[in-house]
Structure 1
Amino acid sequence: MTMPVRQAISPVEARGFDTQELRRNFLIESIFTPGRIGLTYSHLDRTIVGGAMPLAGEIVLATEKQVGSDPFLKRREMGVFNIGGAGEVVIDGEAMIAESTDCIYVPAGTGDVRFRSRSSDDPAKFYLVSTPAHTAHPVRRITAEDANRLDLGAQSDANRRILRQYIHPDICETCQLVMGMTVIEDGSVWNTMPCHTHDRRTEFYLYFDMASQTRVFHFMGEPDETRHLVVANEQAILSPGWSIHCGAGTGRYAFIWSMAGDNQDFNDMDFVAMEDLR
């Protein structure tokens, strides 16, 4: 397992970044490596994000120096979202089925976590998000049917989308982690527009379910100093609380969002008027 570190970046610094610096600091270009776990440690709310893609054998979640404790989840909780073939997440010896679009909540204090694919020809792709936690809550498997469904946007604005809240206070008790999935409907391109910031929470996006030539133009930066990143399939964005986060795709796409910070209030957003965007 590898775990590079991303430092927190201030808006003043980000104003001077060129494209390569923006990508180096805010984009994770490779999430899934066959047969391995790859994680990135971000100083944005000390969130760890990455992926596990088991093939014929199982992969064990091991700790790293950056975590500062052993086992990995001694003082952390984790959301595990499968976007690949069927698999299992083994939590302290108990195997939990994880079909595609299932999410598993793994609590603080868990000693041993392993990942398996049902078939190496159609391997599971487990997207992992871990945040600091102060207490343990029950393990949960959450399916798309279990999640809160919100139908948002309008075709006239090209932003019809289905948002599902998986790890959310109404569904699954956690310390601070919130996690869900948004699918852009056919014929729409925009997500999260009008855009917003939420200075009390960090957000991470994993864009997926995209054709090889599809790209999402992810907009970031302060409202009056916007920038953009061109994002391919199964790449992730780190979004500081001071930054807007919205996007438009050249074709079909979906994304998994996660948040951590001072609260779990999904509606705690500071909306940005269209006339204030620059």
Structure 2
Amino acid sequence: MRLIERLKKDRLAVLCAGILLVIIIVGIFAPFIAPNSPIDVNVKEKIAGVSWKYPLGTDHLGRCILSRLIYGIRTTVVLSIAAMMTTILIGTLLGLLAGYFRGKVDEIIMRICDVFLSIPSEIMILAIVGILGTGLVNIVSAAIIAKLAWYTRMIRTIVIKYSDKGYIHFAKVNGLSTGHIMKKHILPGAAGEIMVLATLDTGSVILTISALSFLGLGVQAPTPEWGMMLNEAKNIMTVAPLQMLFPGLAIVLVVAAFNFLGDSLQTSHHIKGDNITR
């Protein structure tokens, strides 16, 4: 609650949170907000200019750019948030086990993490997509696997810090169960730092998914996705250069909003840089 009160006083944080909230709501209710179908092809109206029917014009296949941007929120933003939440959930579970129990459990989990961390995340994502193939589920799985080891290690560090607090030792002496200590004492304290990690890195997941789609390795047509829209727009850049502007601005806006919000959370929570530096 104190963290929320501090954020309310930060105008930039409120603005970024408001932007993200509006974008997510628009994506969820895309069928009711989008002016046209995002996948219907109308070659007769390809590369059409701005009009009441097509507020941002049409692409090379006559599809409404605004509608594709709106529906693209689901695949680019909502999907990235879902991938990050899954990563955080699994990473928190493994980090809790490693940081609280230490010993052999910690050793096994950390050695597995070391193996994954020895491979650059970008190369690992490309390798996983190359093995599993393109598609929505595969790129999300690749993003989760590539980032899971780093989050497990970082959350383990946070858990160890809180496990060494005096009130945790007091709780153990009083015979409180492990589950109770984790749920009531460790997780509430670590939640703020974990939230900062997730917020700061969500923008990078969005860039990863968009980059894979731009390269043709991610979301496949006709599903609307901002990175794929950039890929399609580059083919007609000499004819209609503005078509790359709208999905590009959308990606920049959302990634910047997540980064600024993460910085505000970090400042509000008084986290030292060493705890969130890769």
TM-score of the pair, normalised by structure 1? 0.24
The structure with the largest strand share of the pair is 1
The structure with the largest helix share of the pair is 2
Question: Which gives a bigger RCO, structure 1 or 2 (Cα 8 Å, sep 6+)?
Answer: 2
Which structure has the larger Rg?
A: 2
